[in-house]
Structure 1
């Protein structure tokens, strides 16, 4: 947001303005020539700013030359360029004589910049972002350059600190926390710092060496004095070291190992919260980056961490108690609906999701809010309102602090300062400003309650009652078995004894017995909620049967229980989905990280389109270091699991029809294969160098992954395998250009092996896909990767008819566009060959008969007559007569038989569009095409439902009679047997 222009100067501020201008003119009496820079317009601007800010007035009277110099330099009217401020400080300290001189120069420079920043803030020449950035850059420059000046002299006095293990000179690392770390410093902030150094050792170069700990402790004390001590020139920044381990009672500096050990063993929740914004603001930047990487696992957990919200809630309660105790309800930072609540909202999402969603691992609050909107955690209107409210509160904070350069967030209680604040904020009077402020505080508080509030606290309630509290005695065994079963039966359980046994088995099971106190408390809070929602479902017995295994699985990682306790909507969706599909229940039980997907209903039931899928996965992987293969593999698997769940949920909810389900699952496989190929290529090239083409140029990558079967035909289902063929167009004999060269054939074989490894390796999140390579030339006996030429020769001279049938559904999934085009030319040429129709019919019929005999239901495997279904034997949707494979074989037969005359038959690889082409070419009637398409979709839809129910693709024999008879009639009319 941007504030309105300064309001007209109120009458009660006119005397202040006149006094400030008069005093400034008096102070300038001996410097009259300098007034050439000060037009009447500028003097009036000064009067208005000075009327609002005693600090500006006092600085101008005390050192008028400073203000004149600022004006002469043009810095009052322009933004500073990146690095300009640091350059000024470096130049200022270049000939600094001693520590007293250092302190004096830094303080005077700080006063000059503070005056400039307040001037630009109050005259609306700088927005909130610029003001915060300039203040943070000023702190960075003063901290780092003062440290470097002191370090040289400290080393001259005590020797250079050297690491015992590395033997390298050591530097201090200064971490800036809070608003400094996030580049959000306000007009009168403390700076919260933590000091660290890489490793123990001692100084070298002097007669009496110092331990590194003592060296850096003394240096840290000198740095704090240079910044914090109040002299006649004021201070540079107030330094607060209380965020360090053990607070004020702890050592001033810590080695990296000591810091890591502390946070690993003793780090508290509020310290995680504080560490989110930690940034290296001084000293050794490279070592500091290593330190932050070491501490990252403490801040961001690899799993969903809803326990963070409990900690934030507890912190907020402590703050509220302190606010009430000290009478700080008028505090725009800590009071209800204040700045801290917006920060808590953002950081709650960061701590909960940041371990898995790396886009949330950032410091600036407005950036985090933008990411929460972009990633679907919060709706755009909510984010827009929070941003506007936050910026209004921060502008208010700056207005309060601009008055006297004092660290305060309390609204004033006197008429003069109230008039100043209203004037700075662009309001004609205090009442108008206060009304707007209270509106924004109300909106922030409301959003805060939605995220942080205890779900047990009903609006206006005391928070003492527990949702589902009537189930607590049953869970805690306060009831005997008869009473418990009676309560379960009255609540709607068909088999209350079985439900009671399930609950008892969970409570007495090894997972729950091994839980620590905190985890058990979370389970005791969760089970009543679960039962409360379970009995609202039409089939509570089924819900309990499917959800309790998941509860047992996550019992030892109780953060997941907190997630569901804190989010009743997510728990409701868990119950609905598990009741609808045992496949979903099993997936969530095996991979509890999928619970994250239940948080956002809009996102759960609206999976992204293909380009968005690919972009999302690409973005996730770019945030992971290239050499962290384990994390890359986990990210790929989590992505696949999450989006598979979203598709299944959408299918169950009816928001995605069958054809779209297959599209999404196919797009998901393609997005994953694209990144797997990129990973495998990068790793293989790093090891062996890049292979070459026949002309000697480098491949890039001249490799494609061809999909057959369901993935090739855009008919992927839940749990489908990938039928793949790998093809390259490099020179098999030419060696790669790396340090460990191998010939091209070996390179592409290893690339293929690497791809399969990435896809099929079992990690904690399972495998990506099962891969079937048997459709490659010569099947299991053939090379893993074929050259394009070898593939063409095989298809033209050696392939069986069934392999050409498979080629109808083959398409390039990912890889080199040039090789993809060449492959498609080979495919079209092979499929469009002239064929003996009678021989083709015979081969297709014989292959289908073998499949029916070996794979179909015995009672109907060979049945093709009108009475084939009288026995009402089970119907295998895929393999039995009149089923899916019959339709696929007819389509493939037609494509092979007639594509020479009608090449459009093989343009597409999916059965539905090939059938459309057969109708358009007048090769099948519209009625027959419609029958086959509808039967095909009906069979596949039934197969999907069976898969989600973890049932084989077999239905009762009394289903689909008309469809099966119609399919078999067309089979016979095509001359197939």
Structure 2
């Protein structure tokens, strides 16, 4: 060959995928000479090979042994292409054809078609000369013939697979054909076993009639049972034995089991033992009762007795895919029918879901560390993650829904989507990734016809895998695909496999997993619904119809009803859930989140059945359900973040009405967030109070900005105006439903005094008008201003200064102890604070003023309590309640803050701690006061959350008391304990108060 011709030939080889060009050139020359076929015909279709060099090596080795079959192969172009594809993907088949060159004749001419189950069975039975269940011969040669014929059929399946343009699309059909081939091989091996047991080559213990009368069903488990088998995989089986009436009458059950056991042993040997022709795969019977310690063959009754008494949860999971594979079809069908009810009730076993989850984790833990990144089947993000997720969903929901009782993974995924148990998007990703992983697994096993699940570790191995699978163009590409699939699978697996809803459904009594209207009324009443008829109407509205939404609601409802019933007010919770569901309509994320997230459904039932305040707000803000999917979204938002949002809102709206509508929506949203967080998150009363105060401050600031733009013209822009927080608002101690006590102050700064006063009044009027919210009232209460309700609503800074200097009385100085600027001019706030400090922190407290404070406190206790109210149950004004603690702390501040800087704070608890540090209050006394203050504050907020209405009275109704207790994390039915805890805490605080306040 001329130099140019040789160079062109080598270039052509490289283009077709060859890497060892010189070796390939030499082998082609050898084949040209020994076959007498032109190189062009030999090299045609070489690009079909994943590893053309490997395929060429195989052709050369086979031709050296037997030239004729190889020559005939290349003279059939379609078969040559099939051979290039097969030998280029499988060194294992290269070894097979080296042992049996004549088998090349049976390669299909092109992709061909998959053999049917009947065709596979007929071909493999024919290979052993089977007739009426017995093979023509029972010697080793029959098993060799079976194995050769099996590999012939396997080659046909592999060629179809390798030459398919879309291997993912044909995966299910290929896997089903492989399972059918395994079943046919077992059937043929059983025929040889029958002949061997009863024929002259056997032990001669059993007659042909006795063997024929023996029943042996081979039950396929795992992938074989599900018709989704690999090329080389253990075939998991269970053997069920018995005999016809005549055999049992003559010899009894034990004799039948002896024969069946001998047949089972020989059937396994025919497939798996080391013979002249290598084994096909391992026949694994370890899933039988008691595993390797148990009898290889049992009767049907013995199997059922074991499953009833001793079986573990994983054994029912294994039975999910059970299918008669070979042997006696009637016995096999009876076995599968008998175990079905046990499979679908197994999820009700105690800790079933936990045990399945732990088993999956144990599988992962036993993978050698160096193999984890390469483990396609067992590792994180591998095939097992998909299979375990699908199986767990099936087992948990399958008792109540026969539609999802599918053996195959892909079929089960489709059913789970159709019935609403898994989101379409998640199922689509799972199905696509499952096909990708299985195609990769098939190509890896074809390579050496060996059982492996490890990705290649070399660039050359990855390149061959990419070419064989058609899933990527390069080795690097197939590795990136593997990494991407792993991440997707693991994320979905973790989210679905560990979701609490699975454990909750599994824990339901079987009779509650389906809602029968005939029985539901009594059941609803029994679990705590006060209006079962009303609850039935809501359930009917939520679950009726054929829509996907109704389907998902039907799955959720049994569990959610249990969770609602565990709450304080299940009737209201269910009603609110219905309203929210209707508001959200067909919003796809809502029910998907409840079904798939880690605990969102349970958290939703908890907040709705425990708080009308939350329920009513959620009806207006239904999208807030999404916050339940993440604790982070329930965390109080920082003031600076809310401030930025409020400013952005106002910049987007042209009119004050639109701007304030948006600000009110912001406030409602954040109050709802805090209410939900207070019920679900680990927040202290101080954290909640601070967050509620922040929301109120941001609302007032935004309202003032909007009103000022509307009221104050540019020529009067020098006017300063500020809002001063008072009372619990000033102390950053607001609870749910608290008023916002305020003072209003202005400074003219050159604006005409009369004009300045008029503008200030308009600002106050605008603030009050635009802050009104019928849904969640915000009462800007100015009653703590000088002269109370009789004094001017707003004053100039100079007027305040004059008033406090000349006419201020003790209660007004006391009120200023919690004065804190929250909105408006910062300079004006600083100036007002200086004025207030002179009044509230006098150099020496006037004894007369101190006596007046004490006198007013006694008067408040006697005169301000609502008529008929039980004084001991009033959380604000009662003995040992909020007012006792706050008045005592304020008295200490009034008397000592000038000398003790730590007391100069608007916070009650901070001032109390400063008093302890200054030696004014003992640690024990402060602890009792703080305990009473915190408990009173928590009870007030819980009362509001529970009922949706503000009240300062600890209720006497036991259900309401229990509901308040549940919000404070008391166990159910703790009404008496809540009451006793409060009254006892208040008594102890009152004793401290009286000793320090009046002493």
Give the TM-score taking structure 1 as reference length.
Answer: 0.46
Q: Which has the higher helix share?
A: 2
Larger radius of gyration: 2
Q: Select the structure with the greater relative contact order (CA < 8 A; seq sep ≥ 6).
A: 1
Give the TM-score taking structure 2 as reference length.
Answer: 0.45
